[in-house]
Amino acid sequence: ETRRVRVVGFNWKDEHADAMRWLEQFGNPYWLVLTDYVGDVAIDWGIYGAPETFLVDDNGVVRWKHVGPMTDATIEQDLLPVLAEVEQDGRERAL
C-alpha cells in the first residue's frame, strides 16, 4: 500500500489465465505475476510450499524469507525492520 516495494506474484504450476482469473475475482495485489509452469524456478528459489514471501533487494539478493501467511504482526515485527535496513543500504550506496 505504501509503494515502498513492488509485490511480485509467483504462479507455481498453474495456467497463467486461470491464476489471473482467480486474482481478478479475489483481488490482485501484484505489480507483476510470473508463471513457473514446470517448477524449475521454484526449486532454484528453494520454494517448497505456499505461501512463501521473499524480500529481494535491488541487486537481486534475497534479504528475508517468510514461510506461511503474511499477517499484520509479521509485517510489522519482521518485514518492516529488514525493509528499513535494505532501504538504508540503498541510500548509503547512492551517496
Distance CA 60, CA 14 (A): 25
Domain ranges in the chain are: 1-48, 51-95
Please spell the DSSP secondary structure of the chain, one letter per residue: ---SS--EEEEESS-HHHHHHHHHHH----SEEEEESSSHHHHHHT--SS-EEEEE-TTS-EEEEEES---HHHIIIIIHHHHHHHHHHHHHHH-
CB 32 within 8 A of CB 9: yes
pTM for this prediction: 0.83
- Cβ count near 86 (within 10 Å): 20
The model's pLDDT over 27-83, given as tens digits with 9 standing for 90+, comes to 999 999 999 988 899 999 998 888 999 999 989 999 999 999 999 999 999 999 999
95 pLDDT band (50/70/90 cuts)?
confident
Q: Return the pLDDT at 74.
A: 96
How far apart, in Å, are the Cα atoms of 47 and each of 36, 50, 52, 53? 12, 8, 7, 10
91 pLDDT band (50/70/90 cuts)?
confident
23 pLDDT band (50/70/90 cuts)?
very high
